[in-house]
């Protein structure tokens, strides 16, 4: 009976408190909530012996990816995978590689250092609307990105901060250097936001294979080598550690091959930037800040994009009749939909050599164009693109490089005639290479037929290569002669136009 009376009294007291609370002014409610929300965590933390550190996938107001998140992921994959019961397996483009096994969301693992235990857990993204969890590779779909939470006893705080976490970073750097793989990044757009995605990038091109004048190749390699070693120089003169290259020339002259050769020479990752999928300058800024140091940032066919980025210096009139400066003309490349890309030329150039170019170091910017004469002067002024490289038509020196690569020869009786014809025609290295590819059976097929008789196989291969070289070079001579005749004969529409002019004059 006493217990019942106690509960009745407690219920009456709570009802009285509730009635009193409802009659209090609203500002009292706010003050009380503030006091409770401040005091309760302090009390709980006093009695809770554990502390935690959160490592979010994106930092800086979600402006760029948090490298610490990548460090923790790599470290846990190497140190704690054996104790996990929930894993995820991924397989890259190369089916010969082993699957990549990583921790699944909400999986907890335990790590130890000097007798101290640390608990790690990967929390998935939190949904905007429902508060549930979803898995997505694109930022912006959720309010809260993925994060790791590290829990440890408060007496191990200094051990974690001074020893454990620096050790995680050191181990990450060791594993990254050991498993280093060059990557090709491209930007994708989803639900109005962009981020980089990557694939392994192993271009076969090298400067030795590049069809270009030897002296020019040596000059470019020396320039790249000096850039790599130029950290102290750039710091001394007060300039960002970056370099800009403008590759210009007709299609088929090797601009893409040049980029691959640069990537191999420098051992840098490549970021292929597609401006048409970027919403505005803020999104462009986010993408640039998310690129890594020691990288090549490529914008191909800048002349085609720049038609939308700027106008000629004549100016554009808006609906109200006012002229706008060409640096603030925006790109609109989405076929008049609501999701138009609005990237300004000034926004792009601010990352090339403007205020934002100092955010990052050891970066190479490469612009390519087929029509250098169409570019806005603001884009190619001195100091913006440090080196203008003309990818010209094929001449004898470039042809010899192709002959060595495709036919494995350095001399031939037809080289003199081919060099003369190349000087008289505008033939691209791509067209020459197409004529140098043997059309018959591959050399490897002969070697497989007689691989049990090494001497016979070697003789047959030498004969096959010589026959291929003779046939390919003879075919190239005929193609060059045909191109010379076609260039000497004016098109029919030109002949008719000249005839009409003469008839009009008479």
| Residue 322 main-chain phi, psi, to 5 deg | -85, 145
Of the two residues 177 and 452, the one the predictor is more confident about is 177
Express each pLDDT in 89-104 by its tens digit: 877 656 666 777 878 8
Is the pLDDT score of 193 beyond 70?
no
The predicted model gives 3-18 an average pLDDT of: 69
Using alpha carbons, select from 140, 146, 70 the residue that is nearest to residue 105: 146
Other Cβ atoms closer than 10 A to 196: 18
Q: Average pLDDT over the chain, rounded to whole?
A: 77
Q: Look at residue 45 in the predicted model and tell me its pLDDT.
A: 65
Task: For residue 200, give both structure tokens.
Answer: 């392994």
Question: Which of the listed CATH numbers 3.40.50.2300, 3.40.50.300, 3.40.50.720, 2.60.40.10 matches domain 184-390?
Answer: 3.40.50.300
- In a 10 Å sphere around its CB, with 0-12 CB exposed, 13-18 middle and 19+ buried, how is residue 6 labelled? exposed
Predicted confidence at residue 134, as pLDDT, reads: 36
**pLDDT in the model for residue 72:** 92
At 380-400, the pLDDT tens digits run 777 778 899 999 899 999 999
pLDDT at 66: 85
Using alpha carbons, select from 295, 423, 282, 276 the residue that is nearest to residue 356: 282
| 68 contacts 172 by C-beta, under 8 angstroms | no
Q: Minimal CA–CA distance to 379: which of 188, 476, 250, 246?
A: 246
Neighbours of 435 (CB within 10 A): 19
As a whole number of angstroms, the distance between CA 475 and CA 435 comes to 7
The angle, 0 to 180 degrees and rounded to 10, between the axes of the packed helices 345-352 and 281-289 is 20
Name the DSSP letter for residue 91.
-
Give the pLDDT confidence score for residue 139 in this predicted structure: 43
pLDDT digits (tens, 9 = 90+) for 268-320: 999 999 888 888 888 888 888 888 889 999 998 887 665 555 543 344 444 44
pLDDT score of 483: 85
Structure confidence at residue 501 (pLDDT): 55
* Gap between the Cα atoms of 491 and 119, Å rounded: 77
Model confidence at 495: pLDDT above 60: no
Q: According to the model, what pLDDT value does residue 222 have?
A: 95
Q: What is the pLDDT of residue 465?
A: 58
Q: Is 47 helix (H, G, I), strand (E, B) or coil?
A: helix
Check: CB of residue 103 under 8 Å from CB of residue 86.
yes
Q: Would you state the pLDDT for residue 283?
A: 85
pLDDT, residue 245, reads 93
CB atoms within 10 A of CB 452: 7
Q: DSSP string spanning 436-460? A: HS--S--HHHHHHHTTTSHHHHHHH
Could you give phi then psi for residue 147, rounded to 5 degrees? -155, 150
- Number of alpha helices (DSSP H) and beta strands (DSSP E) in the chain: 18, 19
Place of tokens 């791509």: 430
Q: State the pLDDT at residue 311.
A: 44
User: In this structure, how many other beta carbons lie within 10 angstroms of the beta carbon of residue 462?
Assistant: 11
pLDDT of residue 136: 37
Q: Measuring CA to CA, which residue among 418, 299, 356 is closest to residue 63?
A: 356
Query: CA–CA separation, 366 vs 244, rounded Å?
Result: 6
Annotated domain spans of the chain: 44-180, 184-390, 398-492
The per-residue pLDDT for 319 is: 46
To the nearest whole percent, how much of the chain has pLDDT over 90? 22
* Residue 329: partners with Cβ closer than 8 Å, 6 or more residues away: 309, 310, 311, 316, 344, 345
Place of tokens 């089916």: 95
Write b or e for each residue in 353-388: b if 16 or more Cβ atoms lie within 10 A of its Cβ, otherwise e: beebbeebebbbbbbbbbebeebbeebbeeebbbee
């Amino acid at each position: 009976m006493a217990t019942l009376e106690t509960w009745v009294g407690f219920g009456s007291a709570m009802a009285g408190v509730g009635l009193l609370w409802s009659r209090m002014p609203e500002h009292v409610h706010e003050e009380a909530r503030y006091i409770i929300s401040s005091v309760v965590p302090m009390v709980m933390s006093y009695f809770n012996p554990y502390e935690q550190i959160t490592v979010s996938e994106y930092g800086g107001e979600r402006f760029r990816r948090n490298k610490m998140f990548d460090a923790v992921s790599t470290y846990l994959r190497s140190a704690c995978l054996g104790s996990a019961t929930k894993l995820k397996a991924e397989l890259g483009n190369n089916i010969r590689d082993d699957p990549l096994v990583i921790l699944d969301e909400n999986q907890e693992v335990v790590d130890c250092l000097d007798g101290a235990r640390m608990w790690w857990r990967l929390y998935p993204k939190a949904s905007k609307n429902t508060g549930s969890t979803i898995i997505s590779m694109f930022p912006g779909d959720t309010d809260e990105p993925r994060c790791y939470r590290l829990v440890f006893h408060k007496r191990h705080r200094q051990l974690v901060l001074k020893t454990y976490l620096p050790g995680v970073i050191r181990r990450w750097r060791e594993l990254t250097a050991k498993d280093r793989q060059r990557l090709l990044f491209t930007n994708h757009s989803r639900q109005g936001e962009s981020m980089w995605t990557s694939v392994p990038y192993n271009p076969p091109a090298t400067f030795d294979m590049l069809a270009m004048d030897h002296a020019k190749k040596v000059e470019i390699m020396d320039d790249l080598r000096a850039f790599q070693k130029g950290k102290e120089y750039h710091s001394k003169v007060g300039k960002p550690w970056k370099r800009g290259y403008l590759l210009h020339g007709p299609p088929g002259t090797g601009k893409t091959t040049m980029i691959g050769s640069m990537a191999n020479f420098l051992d840098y990752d490549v970021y292929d930037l597609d401006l048409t999928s970027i919403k505005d300058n803020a999104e462009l800024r986010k993408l640039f800040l998310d690129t890594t140091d020691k990288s090549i940032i490529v914008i191909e066919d800048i002349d085609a994009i720049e038609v939308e980025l700027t106008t000629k210096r004549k100016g554009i009139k808006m609906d109200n009749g006012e002229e706008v400066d060409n640096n603030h003309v925006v790109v609109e490349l989405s076929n008049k939909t609501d999701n138009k890309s609005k990237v300004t030329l000034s926004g792009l150039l601010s990352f090339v050599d403007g205020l934002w170019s100092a955010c990052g170091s050891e970066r190479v910017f490469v612009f390519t164009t087929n029509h250098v004469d169409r570019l806005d002067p603001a884009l190619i002024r001195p100091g913006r693109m440090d080196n203008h490289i003309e990818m010209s038509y094929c001449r004898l020196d470039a042809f010899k490089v192709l002959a060595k690569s495709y036919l494995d020869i350095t001399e031939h009786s037809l080289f003199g005639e081919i060099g003369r014809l190349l000087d008289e025609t505008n033939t691209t290295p791509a067209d020459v290479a197409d004529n140098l590819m043997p059309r018959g059976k591959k050399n490897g097929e002969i070697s497989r037929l007689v691989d049990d008789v090494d001497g016979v196989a070697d003789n047959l291969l030498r004969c096959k290569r010589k026959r291929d070289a003779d046939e390919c070079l003879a075919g190239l001579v005929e193609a060059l002669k045909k191109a010379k005749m076609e260039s000497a004969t004016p098109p029919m529409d030109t002949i008719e136009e000249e005839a009409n002019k003469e008839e009009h004059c008479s």
